[in-house]
Structures are given as C-alpha cells and as structure tokens.
Amino acid sequence: MSFFKLKEHKTNVKTELSAGFTTFLTMMYIVPVNGFILADAGLPMDAVVTATALITVLATLFSGLWSNTPIAMSVGMGLNAYFSYGLVLGMKLPWETALGIVFLSGLLFVILSLTNFRVWIMTSIPMDLRRAISAGIGAFIAFIGLKQMEMIVDNKATLVSLGDFSNPNVLLGVLGLTLSFIFYSYRIKGAFILAIAITTIVAWITGLGSVPETIISAPASVEPIFLKLDIVSALSLSLLPVIITFLITDMFDTLGTLTGVGTRANLFQENNKDDKSLQKTLEADAIATTAGSLLGVSTTTSFIESASGVEEGGRTGLTAVFTAMFFVTTLFMLPLFKSIPGNAIYPVLVVVGVLMFTELGKIQFKDNDLATSAGAFLIVILMPLTFSITNGIAAGFLIYTIIKIAKKQTEDLNLGILVITFISALTFIL
C-alpha cells in the first residue's frame, strides 16, 4: 500500500475501508435517483442505472488512483436535472444532442484543467455571484422535486399552485421528504437511501408501489445509450451558452466540493507547491465528464458526500478505491431500483436543493452595491422561473455588468466577467 502513502497521511487500510463504505452509503442514492431523472428525458431507465453505476465506479476508481485523494465522483445533482427538464423537456432538444453538449463541456474542462484557467476564472468572477449560482441551482432542483411529487401543480391563473394533499401519492412524497430532512438533520449515515427505503416499503405495504419479484439481476445493457451522443448538433452557436453553463457550473461545483472536503482532510494546500492533488482531481473530474457522456449520462462531478468518508478518517485515494468497489454491487440491483416509486426518489432533489440554497446566506447584500444584489437576485429567481440555469446566469451577469458600467465602476469589471457577459448576451440574442 506504499502507493497511497498511508503512513505519510497518518491512516491505515482498515480506516480507509471504513471511510470508503461510509462514502458509499451516503451517495448510493445517486444511482436510482439519476435513473429516474434521465428517464424523464426519454432515456431508458435500465440502461441509465447501469451507466450511472459504471461511471461512478470508473470515475471514483480513476480519481483515487490518479490524484490519491478520498474524492468520490458520480453524475452531478443539479446538472442532471437541467439536462432532463431544462434542455430536453424545456428546450425540446433530443437527448442525444444534450449528451453532445455534456461531451463538449467536458472536453473544454479537460483542456482548461491543464492550464491556469482555473485560477483565472476563480479570480475573475465575484464570490457572491458564484454563491448565487449555487443557490439558484438549489432553488431550481428543489422546484423540480416539488413539481414531480405534485406538491406544486400548474395553474392557469397563477402559473403554479399547491397540489392535492388528499392524494395518497402526494402524501407518500410528504413522508419521503419529512424522513429525508429528519435523517439528514441527525447526520445519519446513508440518510437519503434510508429515507428512500422506508418510503418504498410504505408504498409496497399500502399498494402505492409494486414489490419486486427479485432484488438482484444481471446488469442491464448500456447499448441503447452508449455512444449515442450527437456532437455535430451540439456544435451550434445558439448552444454555446449552454455548453459554457455546463462548464462553469461543473467547475464551481467541483472547486466548492474540493474546498469543503479539503479543509476537513487537510488536502489541496495552496501553499504547498509540491501538492498536485487539486490539479489531478480536477483533471479526473473533467475526464470523467467526457467519459460519462460517451456512456450516456449527464455531467460527472466530485461529490460533497466524500466529506462523510473524510470524517471517518479517509485521507488517501484508497478510500475512493474502496468506494468504487462497493458501488460495483449497484450494478446488480436494477429490479430493486425499478420498484422504488417516484415519490420516494424526488424528495432527495428537494433536500439537496435546500442544502445548495444555503449559499444564499453567505452573499453580502449591500445598499451601495446594487449590481451584486440585482445580479444575485436574477440568478437565483430566474433559474426556477425559466427552468434554465443558463438563463439565470446570463441575466445575472448582464445586469451586473450593465449597472457597473452605468455607475462608472469599471474597476470591478475584468476580462473574465466581460467574456461571460458577452456569452450571456448571446443567450438572449440567439
């Protein structure tokens, strides 16, 4: 085990194994959840479940071996919802084209991760706008979760209104949502998967769900979605803002996750010139996104649930290797995953949305800085209202730049902001 430098990181195989299992428990929910979300976009759920499990195993294994960090990777929450509900259902793009967009954004990330672009983009965009993007995505996916559970329904007069809470399926969603909040608030390992399991059992008992005839089966084929991406159709000027949105969001999500996990594990120390772990983890993340699009899933990213393994003492890539090994078991759980009712799955979207939305509290709203306040507001409010992460980011950066120019505060503008503002303008022009 000298490859992982266990002694240098003050850990051992037993600790890394326990940490890997903990990370697996906390993020296992992504396999069935992603299956449901991408199935809503028309992708066959059986193939998506297998592809999600595969990319989780491969990306996490690669991350552990390449960067020697305890960072697990899988299909990112937020961008998978945008993929299905924003691009395919909202913009009426074929899912093959949407996969092409994911591939191109991943390819750009691979190229840029080999340069100093990471530093440039991070220093170019104000922290408050970055936090607004996270909060906006949180509001977006929480809204989707509530809509899918029919807690919020269409209304011709008011656009949306409260759903029918006498409906047993809606009440099942309420149960799942309540359990998810309670379990997560108590920091229970595998809080989401436990809430899904209990809600599913209740559905089986009450007849709201079907008990599976078998729990284990051979993995479904990924052939229906493997290499089905349409890169040519994605190479459109009108889709450039969407590609940039996927790139920037994945980058922010990854850097935010790595910052949070790294603080706890004493990783990614910028003052250590010999520490290449951050760069290598970013490279692994970018390569995983590109590979995931080939397999047939949306953007792959580093998971904040990796922090649970770090709390258990995980410090090296061996934790990620063990996590990947445990995820192999999900390849054989398709019958169980398919028996889970939707309203046991969608509460996870709401809770994850709430967790992301808490970034809003860190934004510095000031009376003398209307540009930041207006930009952050439009980013957060327009993502759920327009069903588009792209529209929210575009409107926020446009108003930020316009106000700064109007008030002659051009010292707050830089090349990075101006480039994103130009791309934002294309969003509405095209």
Instruction: Give 422's Cβ-side CA count (13 Å radius).
Output: 8
The pLDDT of residue 269? 55
Tokens 């379990």 identify what position? 183
Pair 236, 283: CB distance under 8 Å: no
CA 394 to mean position of chain CA atoms: 20
Count CB-CB contacts under 10 A for residue 190: 20
Cα dihedral: 298, 301, 305, 311 (round 10): 160
The pLDDT of residue 270? 53
Task: Tell me the three state secondary structure of residue 90.
Answer: coil
Cα dihedral: 61, 66, 68, 69 (round 10): -70
**Cα separation of 38 and 135, whole Å?**
22
Task: Tell me the three state secondary structure of residue 50.
Answer: helix
Question: pLDDT 10s digit of each residue in the chain, 430 long?
Answer: 678 777 877 888 888 898 888 889 888 889 998 998 999 999 999 999 999 999 999 999 999 999 888 889 999 887 888 899 888 998 899 999 999 999 998 888 888 877 776 667 666 778 888 888 888 888 888 898 898 899 999 888 888 899 999 999 999 999 999 999 999 899 887 788 899 999 999 999 999 888 888 888 889 999 999 999 999 999 888 888 888 888 877 777 776 677 666 655 566 655 454 557 777 888 888 888 899 999 999 888 888 778 778 877 888 889 999 999 999 999 998 898 888 898 998 888 888 888 888 888 888 888 778 899 999 999 999 989 988 777 888 899 999 999 999 998 888 888 878 888 887 787 777 6
Nearest to 150 by CA among 2, 303, 342, 285: 342
- Burial track 282-309 (b if 16+ CB lie within 10 A, e otherwise): bbbbbbbbbbbbbbbbbbbbbbbbbbbb
Number of H helices, E strands in the chain: 20, 4
pLDDT tens across 188-199, in order? 877 888 999 999
Pair 303, 74: CB distance under 8 Å: yes
Query: Which residues have a Cβ under 8 Å from the Cβ of 411 and sit 6 or more positions away?
Result: none
Structure-token pair, residue 193 = 């998967």
Sort 419 into a burial class: Cβ within 10 Å, 0-12 / 13-18 / 19+: middle
**Interstrand relation of 152-155 and 300-302 (parallel, antiparallel or unpaired):** unpaired
Q: Which residues pair with 153 in a beta bridge?
A: 161
The pLDDT of residue 135? 87
236-239 own/partner pairs: CB under 8 Å, 24+ apart? 237/426, 237/430, 238/426, 238/430, 239/97, 239/101
Tokens 């207006």 identify what position? 374
Q: Give the Å distances, CA to CA, from 191 to 42, 145, 196, 283, 364.
A: 29, 17, 9, 30, 32
Task: Tell me the three state secondary structure of residue 387.
Answer: coil
Pair 16, 23: CB distance under 8 Å: no
Nearest to 404 by CA among 395, 413, 414: 413
The pLDDT of residue 398? 92
The pLDDT of residue 271? 47
